[in-house]
Amino acid sequence: MFDLSCNKTIYFLFFMKGFKINDVEITWLGHASFLVKYKGLNIYIDPYKLPQNLEKADIILATHDHFDHCSDEDINALMKDDTIVIAPIKCSQKFKRSKTIKENEEIELKGIRIKAVPAYNIDKPFHPRGEGVGYIITLGNVSIYHAGDTDHIPEMKDLKPTVALLPIGGKYTMNYKEAVNATLDIKPKIVVPMHCDKLPETITDPNKFKELLESKTKDIEVKILK
């Protein structure tokens, strides 16, 4: 981790990107990348262009094989002797310590339940169904839905997680208006917009998502992590 005694500004800027719910800490690392900390475990999701010297991973989840979600450089930098990578086959086959997961498959690893759920495009060619997944991660009484690269799809109505991490950037995924409708279907307690900051064609102001959602419901908390 960072040497906090040397640079308190870095410490503040890094940790303002996260929040805690019960025993679960969720930190946004840019793009679709998150670090979830729970009872001493570090779970990374779609690590991409990460800062150096982060804590090593216990579990790494990749939603699909695209370069900005299954980054060899970032995943290898996070690996330690017992790290497990969980991903669809085109990504998992790149790593020795990995488990392949498919849509609607559920596994338990190190006391954490991980379920792969559908993630695909409806009106775009970039993410055909079956090649990528989203994840429902259950940690005690908190469930986190990382949607992966997806459009607003019918299966979202069945999820009902505590926290939803949703792409809003358009082009390859939902845009922010479609993500608002997806959020209304999912009905999480907290929603975090993502996948809207690194690729030029997907840069979107997450405040537009927040304003539109809050005009439709006051029951879902929007956390903009930046």
| CATH assignment of the domain containing 138 | 3.60.15.10
Residue 140: how many CA atoms within 13 Å on its side-chain side? 10
Domain presence at residue 95:
yes
pLDDT attached to residue 198: 79
Domain presence at residue 1:
no
pLDDT attached to residue 156: 98
SS3 assignment for the chain: CCCCCCCHHHHHHHHCCEEEECCEEEEECCCCCEEEEECCEEEEECCCCCCCCCCCCCEEECCCCCCCCCCHHHHHHHCCCCCEEEECHHHHCCCCCEEECCCCCEEEECCEEEEEEECCCCCCCCCCCCCCEEEEEEECCEEEEECCCCCCCHHHHHCCCCEEEEECECCCCCEHHHHHHHHHHHCCCEEEEECCCCCHHHCCCHHHHHHHHHHHCCCCEECCCC
Domain presence at residue 3:
no
pLDDT attached to residue 79: 97
Chunked mean pLDDT (size 10), the chain, 226 residues: 36 60 96 96 97 94 96 97 97 96 96 97 96 97 98 97 97 97 98 91 94 98 92
pTM exceeds 0.85: yes
Domain presence at residue 36:
yes
**Residue range of the domain that includes 26:** 8-222
Tell me the CA distances in angstroms from 99 to 39, 78, 83, 85, one per residue in order: 22, 16, 11, 6
pLDDT attached to residue 205: 95
Domain presence at residue 2:
no
Q: How many domains does one find in the chain?
A: 1
pLDDT attached to residue 27: 96
Domain presence at residue 191:
yes
